[in-house]
Amino acid sequence: MPSDHHSLRAIATLVPAAKLVAGDLLTRLEQRTPDGTAGLLDALAIIAQGTEEDRSRLARLSALRTTELWGNDLYKAWPWLQAWMSTDVAAAWTFIERALTTTPDDARAVLVRVLGFWDEVHFDVTAMWSELRRQPALLARIIPTVFRHLPPGDDPQHTGVYQIMAEDRAIDIRGRLPRLLEQIAGPESHAALKALAMHADLAALRPFFQNAVRRHGEAAAEGEPWTPAQIVAFAAEHECDPRPPGDLFRVACNRLQAVRHDIEERDFGDRGLFPPKTPEITLQRYFAGRLERESRGRYDVTREEEVADHKEPDIRLRRAQVGVVSIEIKPLDPGRYSVAEMKDTLETQLVGQYMRAVDSRHGILLLCMIKDRKWEIEKPDGTIDRTAGLPDLLKVLNDAAADLVAGRPDIDGLTVIGIDATPWAKAGKASKTKEAKAPAKPGGRAKVKTAAPTEGT
């Protein structure tokens, strides 16, 4: 038998229905608190969708109820605190700060619960996040408190498959807060970043905040004028020497895209050079050589031959006084690397081990498909696409990379580049399906893309 609070959840998911009843529901709650908490959160979520006046009244009521209940019945206080957070985050956070000082033993548990509100799925927290973006000074208060009571050193260490718990969600939110502050333009957020770069509770994050101060300043300032030599060099080569690490990362991405174009599109490119089961080390040598030949003095290439515990990336691009870009290479053919394995490579290997080991804040996962294959990828509607190709794979992995950058203050840039190095399909022998995807190329071969002018035409 569906319960009554199931109906309330249904109403909360329908904006017109929620708006219709929000005022009446709020009046009832102001007069009387329900005996239990079942359905209360949904009722509060309904009111939060009401008018601005409804939201203001809800903020006052939530503050009152939270304060009344906090010391007596914590369980009943949570829904009210959540409503308070979503309607007046500054006042609610001040309350939390005081609560954390009075319950230091439970500080981590309290913070896990509070940050869990910020990742809420059925309570609309859009307005709360918007408010945080308008208040960099508040974020500058929140960040050290969160890192002090939820220190990364106490985080659970997951291996293999694991269920995401409230603590994992809170850790994810914690990682997003510094980046959120950096994204806010203006002198107030700049001053906040500078203060946090020197904050005693944030020693582990000092490199991030120092870099964030520089990036924030660069984004706000007019660039330095170019020297005549730089203008001449740019006219000849269409690029300049990289200065901040982000520049080196962009140069690395551009070089690899040029290599990709060269392999995939050129008439005498290197498609089909690598047979199935080509060892990873062969590809490392090949790409290290390509990157070195095309460095044009912008960077040095280092390839790790033998490294203890394999804690360093396959290739590093380094420029003195600028930084290091780590590149991990994976060959793709039938049997090598599922989507889950590549996500694990991205997060655990590239970010978690290699980039950390060489103090690199930028990384590239380079995927080289040497024999055609498909992957199983979950679509937005929950169904599984069992025929996903390389472009679909890159979309999924680059979304995961963007999530990692947003959630980890220790990295600044991460991308996945894919190169289709499978042999051209031979014209006349290809199946109809293959012909549709890979039209025959003059000279007896076919290519996937025909954007580049073909030989002899």
Partner 1 sequence: MAVFTALGGELTGLSPEDARTAAHYALREINGPRDWFPVLLAAKLDVVGAVLETKIAGLFGEGADDAV
CA distance 86 to 109: 20
Pick 25 or 419: Cβ nearer partner 1: 25
Pick 17 or 357: Cβ nearer partner 1: 17
Q: Shortest distance, CB of residue 46 to partner 1, whole angstroms?
A: 8
Amino acid in the structure at residue 58: L
4 part of the interface to partner 1, by CB under 8 A: yes
Interface positions, 179-198, toward partner 1 (CB under 8 A):
none
Beta carbons within 10 angstroms of residue 73's beta carbon: 11
CA distance 275 to 333: 9
398 part of the interface to partner 1, by CB under 8 A: no
Q: Which residue has the tokens 């329908």?
A: 14
Pick 28 or 206: Cβ nearer partner 1: 28
Task: Compute CA distances 390 → 137, 169, 348, 393, 397, whole Å.
Answer: 44, 30, 22, 5, 10
418 part of the interface to partner 1, by CB under 8 A: no
Pick 20 or 91: Cβ nearer partner 1: 20
Radius of gyration of the chain (CA): 27
Pick 39 or 418: Cβ nearer partner 1: 39
> x/- binding map, residues 33-72, to partner 1, per CB under 8 A?
-xx---xx--x-----------------------------
CA distance 128 to 133: 9
Choose the binding region for partner 1 from 6-14, 263-271, 315-323, 434-442 (rule: CB under 8 A). 6-14
Residue 373 sits at the vertex; the CA angle it makes with 388 and 423, to the nearest 5 degrees, is 125
The site that binds partner 1 (CB under 8 A) totals a number of residues, namely 25
Tokens of 305: 């031959």
Choose the binding region for partner 1 from 32-40, 48-56, 108-116, 259-267 (rule: CB under 8 A). 32-40
2 part of the interface to partner 1, by CB under 8 A: yes
91 part of the interface to partner 1, by CB under 8 A: no
Q: Shortest distance, CB of residue 11 to partner 1, whole angstroms?
A: 6
Pick 7 or 56: Cβ nearer partner 1: 7
Amino acid in the structure at residue 93: W
Choose the binding region for partner 1 from 29-37, 205-213, 295-303, 376-384 (rule: CB under 8 A). 29-37
Q: Shortest distance, CB of residue 45 to partner 1, whole angstroms?
A: 12
Residue 310 sits at the vertex; the CA angle it makes with 305 and 315, to the nearest 5 degrees, is 50
Residue 385 contacts by C-beta under 8 Å, 6 or more apart in sequence? 376, 377, 378, 379, 392
- The DSSP bridge pattern shows strands 362-369 and 413-420 to be parallel
CA distance 240 to 234: 6
Q: Using CB under 8 A as the criterion, which residues of the chain lie in contact with partner 1 when the complex forms? A: 1-2, 4-11, 13-14, 16-17, 20-21, 24-25, 28, 32, 34-35, 39-40, 43
